[in-house]
Amino acid sequence: MGHPDEQGIVIAGGGICGLAAALALHRKGVKSIVLEGSNTLRATGGGIGIFSNGWRALDQLGIGTELRRKSILTSMFRDVNLRTGELQERLCGNTELRCLKRSDLIEALANGLPHGSIRFGCKIVAVAEDSATSFPLVYLHDGSIISAKVLIGCDGVNSVVAKTLGLKDPRPFRVWTIRGFTNYTSGHSYGSVFTRLLGGSVTFGMIPIDDNLMHWFLSFRCLPDDSRIEDSEQLRDLAMKLVEGFPADASQMVEDSDVSSLSFTSIRYRAPWDFLFCNICKGTTTVVGDAMHVMGPFIGQGGSCGLEDTIVLARNLAEAMQEISVNEFDDRLLQKRVAVALDNYVKERKLRVLRLSTQTYLIGMLIYSPSKVTQFFVFVLLVAFFGGKSFGHSRYDCGQL
Ligand SMILES: Cc1cc2nc3c(=O)[nH]c(=O)nc-3n(C[C@H](O)[C@H](O)[C@H](O)COP(=O)(O)OP(=O)(O)OC[C@H]3O[C@@H](n4cnc5c(N)ncnc54)[C@H](O)[C@@H]3O)c2cc1C
């Protein structure tokens, strides 16, 4: 086995949160490297809705203005209950919600990083503590080892870093989604409205990205028995089957979609009660984004919450690194300072994440629980703790970098 490659701050995973963490540190003058398992930047899932709290974080990263130009401001939420015909409309008011192409977000984050910050094709297979130094050792699939002074796990729902910290595996919500884009070359007719068609066990949502492009999603709690999903065409066939009986424009949107944009996901979540009692950091290792708090998409906050994490983490880490050069430091001093910084990061994030993941879980139960009794109790809890289905969660401000 070769000698470990010694590095300073190592970020595991180059998705939204890994790149945002690297950019936040870079803006604070702190160097890091990102280890991404894929050979290119990944942007699976079509669009991503970013609420005011996420935009505040993007502004801190210096890419908010550029990204606002690529997405229109949502003016209204419209829910149509297809079984009862009930229509609910809410103006967005002060809530800033815009749906971005994930690829635009990923590119804007990556473009802000110094050349060579991202190492592609670096799949992490294990993490361990170096018994001699107590720093994390990162094992890659090609047999190489990286010795990191600080390890930030941004490796998503199946996080290797989270496992090392002892976090419990995410649970299945028993809800699946199909997401995709449909481009209307002569412009679509949906204005700036985010519409959800609630069809019982199937929900169809559509939100504009710009005047031509619509992001849509289908979420459903049972897969048709004969469904086979081996390629994008079969995925579109399944989506077509699920929107049978929905208004014609919904099935037309699915039929006209760009097959290469389609993705299928089984929703998973880290249960709020699992999260409450787990270690989010240990020594100089911690987790960010889905690696820490994967949640269902029911209030569209997973990504925005992860962006908040990166600002809070970079602020604390940069303070700890002040006056210490990562290449010529006193290991003990660095370990002590980073441990305090990560503790502060966890203290700042824990309650916020707990509230968001609880609210997400309850909204998911409200939409998808087949039991009316459960739905009633969940509704009471939501009103008692979160003021109903409000968007108060987007008022949170993660502060300055
Ligand atoms: C259906 C659905 C809809 C959603 N809608 C919204 C929404 O509208 N708004 C919102 O804010 N959030 C939404 N989310 C949540 C949002 O997508 C996630 O919270 C966000 O993508 C998390 O980013 P991340 O960087 O933590 O993880 P990921 O995006 O999963 O990135 C992880 C990265 O790590 C890499 N990686 C993984 N394992 C390894 C390894 N072992 N070694 C090296 N690299 C590795 C991966 O290749 C990937 O690039 C939605 C989620 C789903 C499932």
Which among 253, 268, 283 is the end of a domain? 268
* Nearest residue (CA) to ligand 1, atom 31: 15
Does 142 share its domain with 199? no
Same domain as 33, residue 144: yes
With respect to residue 120, please indicate whether it lies within any of the assigned structural domains. yes
Question: Is pLDDT at 1 greater than 60 in this prediction?
Answer: no
Q: Taking the CA atoms of the chain, what radius of gyration do you get in angstroms?
A: 21
Q: Which two tokens stand for residue 169?
A: 């595996």
pLDDT at residue 222, as a whole number: 76
Residues 31 and 129 in one domain: yes
- The two three-digit tokens of residue 148, written as one number: 């990191």
Whether residue 185 lies inside any domain: the answer is yes
Domain count, the chain: 2
Contact (CB, 8 A) for 309 and 57: no
Beta bridge partners of 345: none
Q: With respect to residue 86, please indicate whether it lies within any of the assigned structural domains.
A: no
Tell me: the pLDDT tens digits for 236-291? 999 999 999 999 999 999 999 999 999 999 999 999 988 888 899 999 999 999 99
Query: What is the arithmetic mean of pLDDT over 157-161?
Result: 98
What ipTM did this prediction achieve? 0.99
pLDDT at residue 331 in the model: 86
Tens of pLDDT along 86-115? 999 999 989 999 999 999 999 999 999 999
Q: Looking at the domain assignment, is residue 397 inside a domain?
A: no
pLDDT greater than 90 at residue 180: yes
Share of the chain above pLDDT 70, in %: 96
Q: Are residues 260 and 282 in the same domain?
A: no
At 114, list the tokens. Answer: 């110094």
Distance CA 80, CA 196 (A): 6
Q: What's the average model confidence in pLDDT over 46-57?
A: 97
Whether 248 is in a domain gets the answer yes
Mean pLDDT of 36-61: 94
Q: Is 19 left (phi over 0), alpha (psi -120 to 50) or beta?
A: alpha
Q: Given a cut of 90, is residue 223 above it in pLDDT?
A: no
* CATH number for position 233: 3.30.9.30
Residue 35 Cβ contacting ligand 1 at under 6 Å? yes
- Three-state secondary structure along 283-311? CCEEECCHHHHCCCCCCCCHHHHHHHHHH
Counting beta carbons within 10 angstroms of the beta carbon of residue 143, is it exposed (0 to 12), middle (13 to 18) or buried (19 or more)? exposed
Cβ of 301 below 6 Å from ligand 1: yes
User: Are residues 121 and 163 located together in one domain of the fold?
Assistant: yes
Decide: 308 in ligand 1 pocket, CB within 6 A. Answer: no
In tens, the pLDDT along 291-310 reads: 999 999 999 999 999 999 99
392 assigned to some structural domain: no
Total residue count of the chain as it appears in this document = 401
Average pLDDT over residues 137-147: 97
The tokens for 323 are: 């006056």
Residue 112 near ligand 1, beta carbon < 6 Å: no
Residues 124 and 238 in one domain: no
For residue 28, what are the domain limits? 5-71+100-170+270-364
Ligand 1 centroid distance, CA of 139 (Å):
22
**Exposed/middle/buried for residue 353 (C-beta within 10 Å: 0-12, 13-18, 19+):** buried
- Measured from the CB, is residue 170 less than 6 Å from ligand 1? no
Task: Clarify whether residues 64 and 137 are in a common domain.
Answer: yes
Q: Which of 16, 18, 9, 20 is nearest to 311 (CA)?
A: 20
Residues 254 and 326 in one domain: no
355 Cα: distance to centroid of ligand 1 (angstroms): 20
Q: Is 242 left (phi over 0), alpha (psi -120 to 50) or beta?
A: alpha
Residues 148 and 283 both lie in one domain: yes
In a domain, 240, yes or no: yes
The Cα–Cα gap between 34 and 39 comes to 13
CA torsion through residues 184, 190, 196, 198, sign: negative
Residues 6+ apart with CB under 8 A from 16: 48, 102, 105, 106, 109, 289, 303, 306, 307
Whole-number Å distance between alpha carbons of 397 and 170? 27
| Residue 400 belongs to a domain | no
Tell whether 37 and 186 lie within a shared domain: no
pLDDT score at 67: 98
Distances (CA, A) of 38 to 44, 109, 123, 141, 369: 12, 17, 7, 12, 36
384 alpha-carbon distance from chain centroid:
27
- 191 and 288 co-located in one domain: no
H or E segment and range at residue 262: none
The per-residue pLDDT for 325 is 61
Per-chain mean pLDDT for the chain? 93
Choose the residue to mutate in 53, 97, 171, 290 for probing ligand 1, maximizing ligand atoms within 8 Å of C-beta. 290
Q: Indicate whether residue 14 lines ligand 1 (CB < 6 A).
A: yes
